[in-house]
């Protein structure tokens, strides 16, 4: 019983205090590897790599993984639910407030500033990922995808599918290093 409570508390904490999405959860998750021993640092690093081809947000992936490893399916349900719960409560409260104060000038003004801020944060994530992951062949692939996006509006699945396939082929020729 105590293990479920621990899973709940740790992942609720992550859901409540991680600001800025996936990357922001990483320090918490590494810390958790140290204090709780639910998974090793090595496993977490593997998980991060693996989460690029498994569906879902990284935070959910790791929560499910840690819960499942420590306490089976029920553990996975508890940890995954807990990481989501703070989001759920907060978003519902904010949605209700927004309905009420949608036309309030201060609310409009804050949203007016938050939108370009959000855009800037997303651009920074993109540049960070670019710097950390790109090599010469990657530039070529990215250029090709960029060109494809300019000529026609395409489904996101197109880009993911093409890039996975090109990655697979490039791997055979050792171009991905």
Partner 1 sequence: MEKTLYQIFKTFFKVGTLLLGGGYVILPLLQSELVEKRNWIDDNELCEYYALSQSIPGLIAANLSIFVGYKLRKIPGAIVAIIGIVLPAFVSIVIIARLMEEIIRLKFMQSIFWGVGIGVLILLFLAVKEMWKKSIVDKFTCWIFFITFILSAGFKAPPATIIILAIFIGIWIQYQKKIEGQE
Which residues between 1 and 20 bind partner 1 (CB under 8 A)?
15-20
The count of chain residues that interact with partner 1, using the rule CB under 8 A, is 94
Cβ at position 38, least distance to partner 1 in Å: 12
With CB under 8 A as the contact rule, the residue among 29, 31, 68, 74 that binds partner 1 is 68
Contact status, residue 38 vs residue 12, Cβ threshold 8 Å: no
Rounded Cα distance between 115 and 112, Å, is 6
Quick one: DSSP state of residue 38? S
Establish if 26 lies at the interface with partner 1 (CB under 8 A): no
Q: Does 74 bind partner 1 (CB under 8 A)?
A: no
Among residues 160, 136, 137, 135, the alpha carbon closest in space to that of 148 is found at 160
Q: Which of 5, 88, 100, 101 lies at the binding interface for partner 1 (CB under 8 A)? A: 88
CB of 35 to partner 1, least distance (A): 20
Secondary element (H or E) of residue 135: none
- Asked if 97 is part of the footprint of partner 1 (rule: CB under 8 A), the reply reads no
Token pair 């998750």 in the structure block, residue = 29
Does 33 bind partner 1 (CB under 8 A)? Our answer is no
Q: How far apart are CA 20 and CA 130, in angstroms?
A: 18
């Amino acid at each position: 019983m105590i293990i479920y409570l621990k899973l709940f508390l740790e992942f609720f904490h992550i859901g409540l205090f991680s600001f800025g999405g996936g990357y922001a959860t990483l320090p918490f998750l590494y810390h958790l590897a140290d204090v709780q021993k639910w998974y090793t640092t090595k496993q977490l690093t593997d998980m991060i790599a693996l989460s690029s081809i498994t569906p879902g947000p990284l935070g959910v992936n790791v929560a499910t993984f840690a819960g499942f490893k420590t306490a089976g399916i029920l553990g996975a349900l508890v940890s995954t639910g807990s990481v989501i719960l703070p989001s759920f409560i907060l978003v519902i409260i904010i949605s209700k407030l927004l309905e009420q104060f949608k036309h309030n000038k201060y609310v409009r003004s804050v949203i007016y500033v938050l939108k370009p801020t959000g855009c800037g944060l997303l651009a920074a994530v993109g540049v960070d990922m670019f710097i950390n992951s790109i090599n010469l062949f990657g530039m070529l692939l990215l250029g090709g995808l960029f060109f494809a996006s300019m000529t026609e509006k395409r489904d996101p699945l197109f880009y993911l599918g093409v890039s996975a396939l090109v990655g697979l082929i490039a791997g055979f020729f050792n171009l991905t290093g």
